[in-house]
Homo-oligomer: A and B are copies of this chain.
Amino acid sequence: MHNILQQHNHQHCIDDALARARELCQRRQVKFTRIREQVLACVWANHQPVGAYTILEEIAKDSDRRPAPPTVYRALDFLLENGLVHRIASLNAFVGCKNPNHHHQGHFLICRQCRNAIELDTDVINSAINAAATQHGFAVEAPCVEVVGCCANCQELSDNE
Query: Which residues on B sit within 8 Å (CB–CB) of A148?
Result: 141-144
- Check B133 against A147 for contact (C-beta < 8 Å): yes
- Check A129 against B143 for contact (C-beta < 8 Å): no
Per-position 1/0 for A102-139, Cβ under 8 A of B: 00000101011000001010101101110111011111
Task: Say which residue of B1, B137, B138, B144 sits within 8 Å of A145 (CB atoms).
Answer: B144
Per-position 1/0 for A1-20, Cβ under 8 A of B: 10100000000000000000
The majority secondary structure among interface residues of chain A is mixed
Copies in the complex: 2
Alpha-carbon separation in the docked complex, A94 to B90 (Å): 13
Alpha-carbon separation in the docked complex, A8 to B60 (Å): 55
The chain B residue with its CB closest to the CB of A150 is B139
Chain A interface residue count, Cβ-Cβ cutoff 8 angstroms: 38
Task: Say which residue of B135, B136, B138, B147 sits within 8 Å of A143 (CB atoms).
Answer: B147
Rounded to whole Å, the gap between the CB of A128 and the closest CB of chain B is 4
Q: Contacts A133-B109, A144-B147, A148-B144; is A128 near B139 (CB within 8 Å)?
A: no
Rounded to whole Å, the gap between the CB of A93 and the closest CB of chain B is 11
Task: Say which residue of B122, B127, B135, B144 sits within 8 Å of A90 (CB atoms).
Answer: B144
Alpha-carbon separation in the docked complex, A135 to B4 (Å): 13
